[in-house]
Structures are given as structure tokens and as C-alpha cells.
Structure 1
Amino acid sequence: MFSLVQLQSFQAVFAHGTTVRAAEVTGRSQSQVSADLRAIEAQLGRPLFRRESGRLTPTQAAEQVFERAAQVFEAHQNLARLGIGRGDDQVLTFGAPRSLSMTLLPRMARDLRQQFPNLSIALKFGRYPDLIAAVAEGRMDQAIVKLPVSDWRLRILPIIDAPLVVVMRADDPLTALDRVGPDAIGGRHLIRTSEGAPSWQAVTAAFRQSGRQPYSRISVEGVGPICRLVSEGEGLAVVNRLMAADYAGGLNLQMRVFAPETWESFAIIQNASATHGLTMTDVQAVLRRSLSPDAGRADPSHA
């Protein structure tokens, strides 16, 4: 039989392609990692990796072991979590985009602590690519990210779909509409996210289809500051409703679905080789209670 330690060494080499890097991420020596690989290969009677251009490339046998190992780690994690709430100390390092730092994440931390009193929580905020890399490399336990995510090192659990909305002041004439598109916005000033953000690209594509160009002179990173600028009368904004719901409520702003309707999906991610701590399902159950009622719709396959 393979030990969990041996499988962790294997997973690290599978993920990073070298025993040097695998030793760094597992906290073991390079010789120990190599010994773990040899032990697994001896039991299988087949090589797991072949060396190509200075890297260890997985064989077909390694692909099969990787799939089984992920199931083993998940089963072990489900067993380990039984101690949470019974006095065992647990730590959760959780990441999210900065736009959720003042809204959803504090509520989630509160709700997690209520359900798991012995849980220690570290909240981290950053860009989606950085969050994905941190979880995939084992530097962060879980994170909320926007889909699609394609990384075989991760488990992915969809949690919510949310539409793009036009954020406006409560006295704006556009509040009379159910949906607001380029024709209704016309030449009004739009406070935008970064040029490369999918939400802004969707806006520019919609304007292009209607034969218009969006007018924007302010670019802001973060939905919170964008909503504040809207409340100050600087214009309208088209952002994701999950990010905007709490800010809109606190600033007495209104939201209307952007037309054509554009939805974005969000998920919790976790390293596929995680063996300890809360599962994604644990966090998902708490997160659903923490979400604003106006944030979006829960993923139907995981309701």
C-alpha cells in the first residue's frame, strides 16, 4: 500500500515536474521525494515518469495513479474534518477578489466561526490568476474565483451565477427600466473596470453591436470604489451583481440587468491533493447563508 506521504510526494512531482520543486512544496528533502517515487514504482512494477528536457513527464501509469490519489486525498479530508467543532484546532486560509473584502468575506468568516468555533481563519485578497496559482501550489487552502478555471491541480465547486448589472443612483431615470442596454445608456459616462476585464469587454462588444462606442474617462480597480463614484454622480457602471449587491444597498444605489444579458459564474477551488481541514462543501454551505439575497442565483447542480 502507498502511504499518504508517498502520494503527496508523487502529486507534487506530477504537478511541478521536478523533485527539487516537489521537495520545496512538501517540506521534505529531495532524496525523500525520490525515495517515495521509487517505492510507488516498485509496488506498481511500472515507471511513473520519464525524463524529457530536464523535466519529469508523467507516464500513462502516473495519470492513473493521479486520478486514484485525488480520490484518496478527498476521502481522507472528509474523515479528518469530523474532528472540526469537537475541540480540534483547524486553520483555513481563504482567498477572494478584493471587491468582496468589505462585504461577503467578513460575513462568511463570522458564519464559519459560529459553526466551527475552533477554526482559525486567514483571509487573503488578490487577482483571480494569483488566487488560482496560490491554491494550485498549496499556498492557500481555498478561494472564490470566476469561471472558467482549467487547472488539473484543482478541485472546482461552482457556487453562484450572477449577471452583469448597470449600477445607478436611485433618482436616475433609467430605474424605470427592467433592463438597460447600450441604446438606453447612449453617450452617458461609464465608470469602467480595467480594459481587459471580461465585464468591460462584454460592454464594449454590446455597444459595438448597437453601432455605438461606450464613453468612459475613469477606470477603477474594485467594485466598491466604482459604486462610490456612481453615488457621487460620476456616471453609471456595469459590473457583476455578486460584487455590487452589498455596495449598492449601502449607498442607496439601484441595479438593473444589463442587456444583452450576460452571466458570470463563480466557484470555490481547492488543491486536489488537500487532505486536512474544511472541505469545499463545508465552506459552500456556510457561504450560501452569507450571500446577499440580491447577489445572484445558486448553481442549480449544487443547490
Structure 2
Amino acid sequence: MTITQLTAFLAALEHGSFTAAASHLEMTQASVSELVARLERELGVTLFTRGSRRLVPTEAAVELRPHATQAVSAVQNGIDTIHALTSLDRGTVTFGVLRNAAYYALADLAETFHHRHPNVRLRLVGINSAHVARSIATGELEAGLLVLPVDEEGLEVRPLFRDEVLYASATRPLDAGPVTVEEVVDAKLVLYDAFAGWDDPTRRQLLERARLRGLTLEPAVEVENVETALSLVAAGAADTIVSRSITEAEGFAAGIRTFPFAEPMHDTIALVQREGMLLSPATQRLAELAERMLRERLPEHQGRIALG
């Protein structure tokens, strides 16, 4: 028994003749008749009484009809689902972005993608990069844009851009020069991404530098958002670290001074997906859009954000 046989049977049942069924299916009358005849032979029953004008369904045909309809519908639904995914007519995209995505010209990523593909459901998750990486590795998210370094086990990582990390202070003298790790350790620090803690990629780099020198690094204050940290810095209550893209954003407090590290430090933004998995067409399109938006909207960073 084949789906083609069941399709021919249902068409003949609905239209009342092999000729009408053939027209509906865009097949020849002989083909439809043969498909039904083969189905009858396989089942060992007669499905139609061949009248002079119209096919008359037998009791066996009436009993078979709901099962045939269910089988044909299930296959067609599967075909429609696959076509929808490949044509971006339906489906769901699960994509992670770095927490401070707005500072990287990605604030309207969701709006742009939805405008172009209104029938695709979009789940855009903006959490700390360390958590995005774990969610991709476990299959909760299909892919994401995040800051390195993260634990890369089970992931495919493609670096895209580098953004310099700076030291931010409202009280450090302008002519003090580059900042050393020793000075950072001695300073009163406010660090953001409190929930991620030392799993945060930027913090992780700073902590590693301190450990290599046998130093202990502990913030005086931990908050969740970079904006909160910068408010404390502007008030002169503490210092922090921040990417250059954030310092150049509109609204960055004029009283905050920024300094490079004596040993330059960078956040590397990368496209990450699960190892060995192909991205769905919709997710691939979203990733391409995100990368293109970064390239087009941050021209002033060429030289500071370099291709990885």
C-alpha cells in the first residue's frame, strides 16, 4: 500500500469517477484506475462498484476512508512543514545575543527580521554570553552572537569582531596613562553581570590576568546592568571596565574618563552554534542579518573592531 494509491482512492471517492479524479490529480484516467485496482488487490476487497455513470463506494471503502485520509494528511503535513522551513514561511528561530547587544547596533535586529519574515516565530534571548554558550551546547538555542572567551566544548565558534576593553573612572587623573592589573586589583571596583559572576567573558579575562600575577581580584560592588555600574562610576563611587562601543554610545556620561590597559584587552564577538549541527534556514538568515548589521552600522569602529 502506498500514499499514491490512497490518494487516488480518496480522489475517486470524492469525485465519483476515475476520469474526474484523474483530472483533479493531473494524471491519466488509466493511471488512477490502476492505482485503485492495485489497492483492491493488496487489501483483498472491492472498494467501488463500477456503475455506468458513477463509482459507488462499498462498505470497505467507507471503512477505509478515515484511515486513508489520516495517512495522506500526515504525509502532506510533513511535506508542508519542511517546505515552510526552507521557504521561511513558518517555523521558529531560537537565537542568543550578548547582553549589551543594543550597544552593537543590534537593538532592532528582531524588528528587521520580523518585518522581512513575518510568519517566522522569533525567540531572541539576551543574557550573559556564558549562559548563551551553555544554552547552545544543550540545544536550548540554535545559535547566537556572544563575547569570547566561553567554554567551547561542543560548540563551533567563528570570531567576527574585536572590541577593546577600557578602564572607566571619574576620579583617575587624565594623564595617568595605561592601567596595570596591579592598579585594578587595588582599586574600588563596581562590576556588572552579577548573576554570571566570574563566568562573564570580560571579567574572566581580567581575573586570569590577576591570577597569573598571583593577585586576588574582588569587586567592592556587583550589579546586574552596565548602566547601573556606570552611574556609580559617574558619581565617583567606584571604577569599572567597559567596552569601547559602550563608551562611544549616545548618553555615555561626559565625566567618565576611559583608559586603555597596559596590556591591551579585547572582547571578541563571535557567531556560535552547536558542534556538528546545521542551522535551519531561518536561523542562518538571522545570523547573516546580525553580522551584516554589525558591519554596516559600526564603520567608525574599523581599526578598533577588526575582523576575527
Q: Cα gap change, 1:122/1:232 in structure 2, threshold over 3 Å: closer, same or farther?
A: farther
Q: Is the 8 A contact 1:168 1:255 kept in 2?
A: yes
Shift of 1:215: 7.3
Shift of 1:167: 1.6
TM-score, with length taken from structure 1: 0.54
User: Is residue 131 of structure 2 the alignment partner of residue 126 of structure 1?
Assistant: no
Q: Cα gap change, 1:183/1:136 in structure 2, threshold over 3 Å: closer, same or farther?
A: closer
Q: Is the 8 A contact 2:130 2:200 kept in 1?
A: no
Q: Deviations over 1:61-101 (max 9, x none)?
A: xxxxxxxxxxxxxxxx9xx76x45xxx35643321243436
* Separation of aligned partners in 2, 1:122 and 1:246: 29
* Separation of aligned partners in 2, 1:227 and 1:130: 23
Task: Tell me the equivalent position of 1:144.
Answer: 145
Q: Cα gap change, 1:156/1:190 in structure 2, threshold over 3 Å: closer, same or farther?
A: same
Question: What does 1:167-186 align with in structure 2 at a 5 Å threshold?
Answer: 167-169=168-170, 172-176=171-175, 179-182=178-181
Q: Deviations over 1:114-156 (max 9, x none)?
A: 665665533213333432232234332321223345244x443
* Separation of aligned partners in 2, 1:207 and 1:151: 25
Shift of 1:207: 6.0
Q: Cα gap change, 1:95/1:235 in structure 2, threshold over 3 Å: closer, same or farther?
A: same
Q: Deviations over 1:209-237 (max 9, x none)?
A: 88987674212233232222212221211
Alignment coverage as a number of residue pairs: 216
Residue among 273, 277, 284 paired with 2:282:
277
- Taking only the aligned residue pairs, the percentage that are identical comes to 18
Task: Tell me the equivalent position of 1:5.
Answer: none
Gaps of 5+ in 2: 1-81
> What is the alpha-carbon root mean square deviation over aligned residues?
4.0
Question: What does 1:54-203 align with in structure 2 at a 5 Å threshold?
Answer: 83=87, 88-89=89-90, 91-100=92-101, 104-113=105-114, 120-148=121-149, 149-152=151-154, 154-169=155-170, 172-176=171-175, 179-182=178-181, 187-193=186-192, 194-195=197-198, 197-200=200-203, 202-203=205-206
Task: Tell me the equivalent position of 2:68.
Answer: none
For residue 95 of structure 1, what is the amino acid of its counterpart?
A: G
Gaps of 5+ in 1: 1-76
* Separation of aligned partners in 2, 1:125 and 1:200: 18
Structure showing greater radius of gyration is 2
Task: Tell me the equivalent position of 2:23.
Answer: none
More off after superposition, 213-222 vs 200-209: 200-209
Q: Is the 8 A contact 2:164 2:305 kept in 1?
A: no
Question: Which is richer in strand?
Answer: 1
Helix, strand or coil: the match of 1:174? coil
